[in-house]
Chains A and B, each alone.
Chain A
Amino acid sequence: MKEEKKYLFDKPENVQRLLRGFWALLILLLGIDLFISKHPYFHWEEWPEFYAIYGFVACVCLVLASKYILRPIVKRKENYYD
């Protein structure tokens, strides 16, 4: 049997590399934020890491609400309308 070609993410170490790069970038973003002067419309935009926290919390809430509230209400079998 012919061995299939190994692709980029077939190797676990590449996935690990990607993730490690991602963590590093996040820390970098958190770090730079402290040194940027802001001129916002709302005072909470000046809080350190406001956007990071909001983005994270928003997405977690989004997924949890979709999974545990919306899906049980609206999910039907694929042939529901047939």
Chain B
Amino acid sequence: MINAVPPAAIFIIGAFLIPLLRGNLKTVYLLLLPVLGFINLLNIPYGSHWSFNFLDYTITFLRVDRLSLVFAYIFHIVSFIAILYALRLKDDLQHMAAVLYAGAALGVIFAGDFISLFIFWEVMAVTATYLIWARRTKASQAAGLRYFLVHIFGGLCLLAGIVINTYNTGSIEFSYIGLNGLGSSLIFLGFGINCAWPGLHAWLTDAYPESTITGTVFLSAFTTKCAIYALARGFPGTELLIWIGALMTMFPIFFAVIENDLRRVLSYSLINQVGFMVVGIGIGTQLSINGATAHAFADILFKALLFMAMGAVMHQTGKINATDLGGLYKTMPLTCIFCIVGAASISAFPLFSAFATKSMVMEAVAKEHRTIIWFMLLFASAGVFHHAGIKIPFFAFFSHDSGIRTKEPPLNMLLAMGIAAFLCIFIGVYPTVLYSILPYPVDYVPYTAPHVMAQLQLLFFSALAFTLLILSGIYPAEMRAINLDIDLVYRKFAVAFLWFCNVPLTAFRNGIQNFSSRAIGAIAKFATDPLIVPELILKGIQIGVYKALTTSSTGTNPKIADLEFRFNRLIKMRETGRYYGTEVPRRPIGLGVLISFVLIFFYALIYIITR
């Protein structure tokens, strides 16, 4: 056994102590958790540790290599930032859910086998759902439930894939899988749902903007990046990923341009950025895998920063729609500056983080001479500046003056944003620090004259397009409206399907049920007294015959009246079932027994004779 413990354990066990502490002690404790974790992380040696035998398999909680360590570093850093940002929160359960969520993400990163991977994967889904529900609005409850259902579906795909894969290979070790056969395809799909692939992405843009101000910061960091890690581990060099990733970078920017809720705009740009990482994994060269992990590292920071800035706006004004905001630079200048740093980072301005990370993916794509992909990514690079780099700060802090006069958010929020902003610039200025922890040795220089020039031209002429379109009034006005996305399928068509089940199908079922229960009732009644039917028929004929014979007679014939009375009594008996009047012929049970004995006697006689 080694000195270091699995980082997940520190967070997960640590989370359960949170409700026991109060006041300053809790504040210190919360901040200390990721710091302790980080110190532990620095002492972890490479290799597989904390392995246990479970049934016939080996569970490994701590498989340490360069790929898992990059993600572990950034997960600790962003946990510290997000906890600092959420420090004033008076909701222990939310603190717990957030820390558990971060712990589960670390569990995924270090899982050396499929069983522990799957368990942590599911813990992430549950705790993330709680972070969405914690806002306690009707919309967040509904969105949280949808999030949960989608991720349970994804988890089941993953589980089914793991079971098939284990059956085929006989091993539960989580390493390179590659796309071959049903098992690996299901695992691929399970990862893809968490990665927000096109068509499977709606949970993200649906749920993240409905979460709490602080919860979204956590959410933006872990789920998609764990999926990126898992893809980088299991499916590097998969051709399909290149196209999936390129689509991911493209389609969300169109939605982001016309979206009113600024946190939803950021959610779309989150998918766009993850797309670059997916392309990098799909290319599968050392440069591109380095690019994907480096970009994940940078993205976690600037996306957290942007979500924190928008969260601060929401915290201070209670509003998040572009139509309600504007002119906030006057009263929230620091938040505005932090937001611009985040915006410059996501847009990959020189000296900001993504310039040094996203360009590795672009370079890898160009090196492989993938022309179409390259043009798609370049389009997305221009587009991301447009919708995230300019739109977010412009509509929140500048644009028309909304008349809102507020003040800066609390100090802890400003500090959290400040740290994230500092790191964004630090990575941009000294990328070698980040390069030194990447999975493969880095032989890439971002700051060359043509690269800087190309990027500046791309960005500034995107800005020119924005400026001209705004000045000319062509830029689509912000509207109080929502935009349909693929979640329409389960939000409307699923409702229609439920209606179909509830109304026509239920009516059909009821019809059949009524018919058969009536038929069974009739048969049961008939069976309780089968003689009554022939008797009724006989009595009916008797009455008919009497009536026919005595047509001319006057008044009521007492004989007919008597017969009709008996007939009606018989019908009544039939309806009520049980009571037999004395008139109904009843045979003693002994007679039946006697007849059956006689029959058995004759049967036995014939049997003996014919033998």
Contact = CB atoms under 8 A, between A and B. Distances in A.
Interface of A: 7-9, 19, 22, 25-26, 29-30, 32-33, 36-42, 45, 49-56, 58-60, 62-67, 70-71, 73-78, 80-81
A29 B457 contact: yes
B458 interface: yes
Given A7-B329, A7-B330, A8-B329, A62 B253 contact: yes
Given A7-B330, A29-B456, A51-B461, 18 more contacts: A9-B398, A37-B450, A51-B453, A51-B457, A52-B458, A58-B378, A58-B382, A59-B466, A62-B253, A63-B476, A66-B254, A66-B255, A66-B257, A70-B258, A74-B484, A75-B258, A76-B483, A81-B492
Interface stretch (B94-102, B363-371, B572-580, B596-604): B363-371
A82 B113 CA distance: 43
B474 A42 contact: no
Nearest to A56: B461
A75 B461 contact: no
Contacts of A26: 460-461, 464
B475 A63 contact: yes
Nearest to A39: B450
B294 interface: no
Nearest to B257: A66
17 contacts: A7-B329, A22-B464, A26-B460, A36-B449, A37-B450, A42-B369, A42-B371, A49-B457, A51-B458, A58-B378, A58-B379, A62-B257, A70-B254, A70-B255, A75-B483, A76-B481, A81-B491
A36 to B, nearest CB: 5
Interface of B: 253-255, 257-258, 329-330, 366-367, 369, 371, 374, 378-379, 382-383, 386, 398, 449-450, 453-467, 469, 474-476, 479-485, 491-492
Contacts of B491: 81
Which secondary structure dominates where chain B touches chain A? helix
Give me the 10 closest cross-chain CB pairs, A-B, nearest first: A59-B465, A41-B366, A51-B457, A55-B461, A66-B257, A55-B458, A67-B476, A56-B461, A52-B457, A74-B484
Q: Is the interface of A mostly helix, strand, loop or mixed?
A: helix
B465 A63 contact: yes
Contacts of A66: 254-255, 257-258, 476
B465 A56 contact: yes
A56 B461 CA distance: 5
A18 B462 CA distance: 17
Most buried by A among B469, B475, B485: B469
Given A41-B369, A70-B258, A74-B485, A19 B458 contact: no
A66 B477 CA distance: 12
B469 A78 contact: no
Contact of B481 (A8, A65, A78): A78
A48 B231 CA distance: 39
Contact of A29 (B378, B453, B476): B453
B483 A71 contact: yes
B482 A78 contact: yes
A3 B112 CA distance: 66
B457 A33 contact: yes
A71 B457 contact: no
A65 B366 contact: no
A56 B21 CA distance: 55
Contacts of A42: 366, 369, 371, 374
A58 B383 contact: yes
B366 A36 contact: no
Contacts of A25: 460
A29 B474 CA distance: 26
Contacts of B474: 63-64, 67
Given A45-B454, A49-B457, A70-B255, A54 B485 contact: no
Nearest to A59: B465
Contacts of B454: 45, 50-51
Contacts of A73: 484
Contacts of A59: 382-383, 386, 461-462, 465-466, 469
